[in-house]
Structure 1
Amino acid sequence: MRRTGPAMAWNFFRFCTALRVLGSVMIVLVLAIAAVTYYAVVIANYGPALLAAGASLRALSPIAVLLPFHFFLVMLLWCYFSVVLTDPGGVPPNWRPHIDEERGETDPLTTSDFNGTNLSLQQAASLASAGHPGIRFCRKCNQLKPPRCHHCSVCGRCVLKMDHHCVWVVNCVGALNYKFFLLFLFYTLLETALVTLSLLSQFIAFFGDGEIPGTPGTLATTFLTFVLNLAFALSVLGFLIMHASLVAANTTTIEAYEKKTTPKWRYDLGRRKNFEQVFGTNKKYWFIPAYSDEDLRRMPALQGLEYPSKPDFDAQDF
């Protein structure tokens, strides 16, 4: 007999393995787009223009394009591979919530439910099933979940402060690489905007009546590069604006949906402190995919396990 009903519902996550394979292809695609862009800007257009200008003042125009182009490209690739190669953060083995000795509280558990390590995983699962407001337990990983941690079905594990799984970087974006991801978006926007503006005149001339120097292959590459970079600039701009609003509110893409049913958000400490929980306090490190040793030592939020809350926050409202 043919099966019908909910049991036959389509399960998207059956294709998680395929998504991981697709991610590997996307890395090659990113490098290919970077290579095509480099050829169109440096080899086909502004490199020859710089050589033709020699030591004259005409060399200032190609230099004004080539210098920031190479800088943004280096930063873009540095941030990109930092996101790809950095573990977003996993739950440490046998993790248990920290007990506040003065207040007699734990987060996310309360002392009445948790006493040292006496709470078994079976008990935690039972409390979670009963809808306990202070406990978070992952049935897929069979472990307790720290605050702001979510399970990624593509990676097959819980990720600290998970924002989303990004196919472009073959990785989750979480607590330990979220800053790198944002910087990747930032430098991608600067790079694609620069390329779009620098090739705009060639794009206009492509549809004009005048003759354009270069082979048909060079012209086609220039045209393709302009269209691709314009499309990426517009899409990344919208994505970056969205994430800037998330950082300002100290939330993630996943938490933004959860907040719709939450009257208060315990982690919103103000824009400055919210920003520092992602980028650190040392301004010298704000624009590079790294943190200072001092920030890593004194800011637990950068490790993805502990997050300060509003002083007047009532746990019952969360």
Structure 2
Amino acid sequence: MYRSGAVMAWNVFRFCTALRGLGSIMILLVLGVVGVSYYAVVLSIYGPALTSGGLDSFISLAVLLMFHALLVMLLWSYFSVVLTDPGGVPPNYRPLVDEERGDVDQLTGSEFTQLTTPEPTNTRVRYCRKCNHVKPPRSHHCSVCGRCVLKMDHHCVWVVNCVGALNYKYFLLFLFYTLLETTLVTISLLPYFLAFFSDGEIAGSPSTLATTFLAFVLNLAFALSVFGFLIMHATLVSGNTTTIEAYEKKTSPKWRYDLGRKRNFEQVFGTVERYWFIPAYSEEDLRRMPALQGLEYPSKPDLDSEES
């Protein structure tokens, strides 16, 4: 019995290690898709067409401007997710709010001591037995990262990082700009893709034609998959939940963090409109919105009173 449990733990460890190693490959894959798309759209088709004159030059200029603008935003958002720590539990964290009952009094020394024991008897706040510390509201333990992540949504191998409180907005913007970019590339290459199935001759070298065909297929596949993923996350944002919390809500008739669609949106993107579509927050929002720091979250007053 002990042996099977040890083997299971060892296999899980290998799986988590494999996921960490897979992330570096995923970054190269993302950059590879970007490179193939850039070669097909900019270097092979629309770049040379700029000098053709007339309507073709105008269309080429419009496509190239949109392509580069979206590419900048896509890469900015992507590397913001990759390089931004999603948020970890601060050392010696003490909860100021009782997540279960809505109390606003800080835990006393004796209560906090009970929580730091291997078998905590105080169930008023959440405790991680893997990290051996108190967990802030809405945080979860990530087996891949080996720590608790603030407002954890999921661990994403595509960004070699957890998606949590401090980079969830950047992740959503990455999905948004990826959808726009891949859709633009798909539409731009569609006439040349259809030409493969026509009876006429196709201009270009074999390598150029192969790259164009590959770029179209890859961008179409990414556009369709990202569209469904973005719709799912838009639904989660509208209800102020994460992917993990969406399963928890099934057993809870009321979700205390659902503040209405507008406020739910602001809990992720902030209140300053000019910052909504860039992977950054205003100093004003960072100063006055605790939810953006990942430790405290506003909830419905009526539910707080019911639970207290």
TM-score, shorter chain, exceeding 0.5: yes
What percent of counterpart residues are identical?
70
Q: Cα distance 1:87–1:108, how it changes in 2: closer, same or farther (>3 A)?
A: farther
Q: C-alpha offsets along residues 266-291 of structure 1, whole Å, 9 cap, x if unaligned?
A: 00000000000000000000000000
SS at match of 1:19: helix
Match of 2:107 among 79, 97, 114: 114
Matched, 1:212 2:202: yes
> C-alpha separation between the residues in 2 aligned to 1:17 and 1:225?
31
> C-alpha separation between the residues in 2 aligned to 1:143 and 1:235?
38
Which residue does 2:301 correspond to in 1? 311
Matched, 1:86 2:103: no
In structure 1, runs of 5+ residues without a counterpart are 100-105
SS at match of 2:112: coil
Which residue does 1:156 correspond to in 2? 146
SS at match of 1:165: strand
CA contact (8 A) 2:100 2:307 kept: no
CA contact (8 A) 1:125 1:137 kept: no
CA contact (8 A) 1:161 1:175 kept: yes
Q: Cα distance 1:79–1:117, how it changes in 2: closer, same or farther (>3 A)?
A: farther
Alignment of structure 1 residues 163-312 onto 2, 5 Å: 163-312=153-302
How far residue 29 of structure 1 moved from its aligned partner, in angstroms, is: 1.1
| TM-score between the two structures when normalised by the length of structure 1 | 0.90
SS at match of 2:120: helix
Amino acid paired to 1:300: P
Q: Cα distance 1:98–1:124, how it changes in 2: closer, same or farther (>3 A)?
A: farther
Which residue does 1:17 correspond to in 2? 17
Q: Cα distance 1:311–1:287, how it changes in 2: closer, same or farther (>3 A)?
A: same
> C-alpha separation between the residues in 2 aligned to 1:315 and 1:125?
29
CA contact (8 A) 1:264 1:317 kept: no
SS at match of 2:88: coil
SS at match of 1:169: coil
Supply the RMSD in Å over aligned alpha carbons.
Answer: 2.3
Matched, 1:126 2:116: no
SS at match of 1:144: strand
CA contact (8 A) 1:23 1:169 kept: yes
Q: C-alpha offsets along residues 223-276 of structure 1, whole Å, 9 cap, x if unaligned?
A: 000000000000000000000000000000000011111121000000000000
> C-alpha separation between the residues in 1 aligned to 2:109 and 2:116?
15
> C-alpha separation between the residues in 2 aligned to 1:74 and 1:111?
44
CA contact (8 A) 1:27 1:168 kept: yes
Which residue does 1:51 correspond to in 2? 51
How far residue 114 of structure 1 moved from its aligned partner, in angstroms, is: 3.3
Q: C-alpha offsets along residues 84-129 of structure 1, whole Å, 9 cap, x if unaligned?
A: 0000000000000115xxxxxx33576899314752244474226x
CA contact (8 A) 1:96 1:117 kept: no
How far residue 315 of structure 1 moved from its aligned partner, in angstroms, is: 6.9
> C-alpha separation between the residues in 2 aligned to 1:150 and 1:301?
16
> C-alpha separation between the residues in 2 aligned to 1:251 and 1:214?
50
Q: C-alpha offsets along residues 136-166 of structure 1, whole Å, 9 cap, x if unaligned?
A: 0011111000000000000000000000000
CA contact (8 A) 2:96 2:107 kept: no
